[in-house]
């Protein structure tokens, strides 16, 4: 299980998080950046200036900062920011209910990207995963999302040849297993010592745009809690879907 290193350099961590935020959520000012990182405005300004210097950010005429050329195309970030804002209070409630860390992720091709994490209070816990990319066929939320796709949609992401260590046949096997179980489980597939349960966000008959997961150290996982965890995830996913339905212009089925 990978948590924040004890030897981490805080300024480096802040800069990396800020670069990810600019890419995921779009332009922001110095005050916005300071609030998101929990630092002083002067610190946020220094971080943004360094990102601009290294082409990880650019400053517009309105003095706001956006993702720079070093991070590639900006893409459709606005829906991710909206999804994250809407989902975060629900994630906090989920963590309070089950006592374990919770994540929100979106599908990006053959990977999922964590767009929000709320950590639990245990000393031994799954830490902040925001911004990380994981193979969709290994992550619990990724498996939940793949299980909602058609065979043609899966084929558009995976080739017959093994790419990045997995073939389409293997992904289809995982999808069948997930559908048969009725729940998406990751037991050490992405990280040794980690167990996660995933659930899609979206109503019946719609391709989900996001997924939730509850993640915990395997040492604390009890299979007898699976119905409880699954029910909590389903309730939270339904609540987020209702919240999204009340927002003008629903999110697209895939946030890329």
Nearest to 226 by CA among 200, 201, 195, 202: 195
Task: Over range 19-35, report the average pLDDT.
Answer: 86
pLDDT of amino acid 4: 54
d(Cα 134, Cα 174) in Å, to the nearest integer?
16
Helix (H) or strand (E) holding 214: strand 210-217
Mean pLDDT across the chain: 86
pLDDT band, residue 161 (cuts 50/70/90) = low
pLDDT of residue 128: 87
**Maximum distance among all Cα pairs of the chain, rounded to whole angstroms:** 56
**Cα 174 from Cα 6, distance rounded (Å):** 35
Mean pLDDT for the stretch of residues 80-94: 91
CA distance 139 to 186: 6
| Rounded (to 5) percent helix, strand, coil in the chain | 45, 20, 35
pTM of the model: 0.71
Candidate from 44-53, 74-83, 120-129, 152-161 with smallest mean pLDDT:
74-83
Phi-psi region of 240 (alpha: psi -120 to 50; beta: other; left: phi over 0): alpha
Give the percent of the chain with pLDDT over 90: 55
Interatomic CA distance for residues 98 and 114, integer angstroms: 20
pLDDT band at 55 (very low <50, low <70, confident <90, very high): confident
Q: Are 220 and 48 in contact (CB under 8 A)?
A: no
Instruction: Output the pLDDT for position 21.
Output: 84
How many Å apart are CA 21 and CA 38, to the nearest integer? 13
Angle, CA of 203, 206 and 211, to the nearest 5°: 65
Domains in the chain (CATH in brackets) are: 10-71 (1.10.10.10), 78-245 (3.30.450.40)
Per-residue pLDDT tens digits for 98-147: 999 999 999 888 989 898 999 999 999 998 888 788 999 999 999 999 99
Q: Is the pLDDT of residue 178 over 60?
A: yes
Of the candidate ranges 131-140, 173-182, 201-210, the one whose mean pLDDT is the lowest: 201-210
**pLDDT value at position 72?**
62
Pick from 14-28, 115-129, 141-155, 222-236: least confident:
14-28
So what's the pLDDT on residue 75?
44
Average pLDDT over residues 76-86: 73
Which pLDDT belongs to residue 64? 92
Q: Given CA atoms 167, 169, 174, 175 in this order, what sign does their dihedral have?
A: positive
Q: What is the pLDDT of residue 76?
A: 45
Query: Nearest CA to 132 among 43, 48, 194?
Result: 194
Which residue, among 168, 171, 254, 157, has the nearest Cα to 207 in the 3D structure?
Answer: 254
């Amino acid at each position: 299980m990978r948590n924040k290193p004890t030897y981490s350099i805080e300024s480096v961590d802040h800069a990396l998080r800020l670069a990810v935020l600019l890419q995921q959520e779009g332009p922001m000012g110095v005050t916005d950046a300071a609030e998101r990182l929990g630092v002083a405005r002067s610190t946020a300004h220094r971080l943004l200036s360094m990102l601009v210097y290294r082409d990880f950010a650019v400053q517009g005429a309105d003095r706001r900062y956006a993702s720079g050329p070093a991070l590639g195309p900006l893409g459709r970030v606005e829906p991710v920011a909206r999804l994250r804002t809407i989902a975060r209070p629900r994630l906090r409630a989920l963590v309070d209910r089950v006592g374990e860390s919770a994540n929100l992720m979106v599908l990006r091709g053959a990977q999922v990207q964590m767009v929000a994490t709320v950590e639990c209070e245990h000393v031994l816990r799954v830490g902040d995963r925001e911004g990380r990319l994981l193979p969709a066929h290994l992550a619990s939320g990724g498996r939940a999302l793949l299980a909602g796709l058609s065979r043609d949609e899966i084929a558009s992401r995976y080739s017959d040849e093994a790419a990045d260590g997995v073939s389409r046949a293997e992904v289809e096997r995982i999808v069948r297993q997930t559908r048969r179980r009725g729940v998406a489980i990751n037991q050490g597939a992405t990280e040794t010592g980690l167990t996660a349960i995933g659930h899609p966000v979206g109503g019946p008959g719609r391709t989900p745009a996001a997924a939730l997961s509850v993640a915990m150290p395997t040492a604390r996982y009890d299979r007898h809690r699976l119905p409880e965890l699954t029910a909590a995830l389903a309730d939270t996913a339904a609540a987020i879907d209702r919240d999204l339905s009340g927002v003008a212009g629903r999110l697209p089925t895939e946030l890329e």
